[in-house]
Homo-oligomer: A and B are copies of this chain.
């Protein structure tokens, strides 16, 4: 059975797991005050070229988004996000549960446009009754987006500028960040993110860790009491060093980049194979998620041998499906999948 359902189906990358094994019986203090966590933070600061940044490790994506957004917003504010943004759709109302509205913007293959952000904010304050409405208090974007697409450096700069001239912070959800940085066409670096965003997170769960997300706060005055907020949100891991150990492994010897590069190059090979066989991608994704419109007949022929997901409801004769690669996809997996497709 081949597996392209998602990038969180296996455990940890072997190098990450090995570090957990090596350190398992050591005894360190809890809640992230251990030396592994300290070293992981230093490595991330260095990788981001951001010596002043604060780095915090949380367990999962939804809790990270809820904790950061709750920390950044004042009570009367909401968060701007694409209507397809993960926080808008797939977090069971975690943002609203903290008391804040998600203010939606149009999405273009999962991306928001700087001019739409500017327009939203400018129109908001032009309305005489704006104090009766939820003020746009920050911008949330995901990189890559939920559709696997990427912002160019130019686009990110424009978003950052729109946010900063209008005095709201920019927060970037990097659940799959490794698969952006590893994409051939990506012209954005960790250093760019650190410079352009106020807060962003480097996803571990989907990029080689058992679990874990590294929040990088490059504008620490915006989150002055983040530690108790992490605890209050139930997002503080008792054995905090497990996060430190894993991120130390991911940020040593270029492992994080290497994982991203491999998975995206396999995703491109997959896409080229599909297109060669006449199935074009429905989204222009340069990362590890690829979307195709396939005849139901083909889907039904593949399904017994390869796992992948419907993207939206099954159609009458054809449907959109998603294939995802990850750090543990192999060249052979792609070869086998394409061979299945050819014979479907």
Contacts and interface: CB of A to CB of B under 8 A. Distances in A.
Interface of A: 3, 5-6, 8-12, 14, 17, 20-21, 23-30, 59-64, 66-67, 70-71, 74-76, 78, 89-94, 96-102, 123, 126-127, 129, 131-135, 205-206, 210-211, 225, 227-229, 231-239, 242, 307, 313, 328
A97 B75 contact: yes
B93 A134 contact: yes
B210 A91 contact: no
Nearest to A137: B225
A325 to B, nearest CB: 12
B74 A93 contact: no
A75 B242 contact: no
Copies of this protein chain in the complex? 4
A contacts with B: majority SS: loop
A134 B30 contact: no
B63 A78 contact: no
Closest 5 CB pairs of A and B: A63-B234, A11-B24, A92-B231, A76-B228, A9-B27
B9 A29 contact: yes
B62 A231 contact: yes
B92 A76 contact: yes
Contact of A8 (B227, B234, B238): B238
A74 B9 contact: no
Contact of A238 (B24, B98, B133, B205): B205
B91 A96 contact: no
Contacts of A20: 11, 17, 210
A83 to B, nearest CB: 10
A92 B237 contact: no
A134 B135 CA distance: 22
Contacts of A227: 131
A92 B24 contact: no
A66 B101 contact: no
Given A12-B24, A63-B234, A126-B313, 18 more contacts: A9-B29, A9-B30, A10-B24, A10-B27, A17-B24, A27-B328, A60-B234, A63-B233, A92-B132, A93-B232, A94-B233, A96-B96, A97-B233, A99-B99, A123-B313, A132-B228, A132-B231, A234-B235
A291 B115 CA distance: 30
Contacts of A132: 90-92, 228, 231
A236 B66 CA distance: 13
A135 B229 CA distance: 11
B23 A234 contact: no
A30 B225 CA distance: 32
A269 B41 CA distance: 40
A22 to B, nearest CB: 10
Nearest to A226: B76
Among A28, A76, A89, A242, the one with the most B-chain Cβ atoms within 10 Å of its Cβ is A76
Contacts of A238: 8, 60-61, 205-206, 211
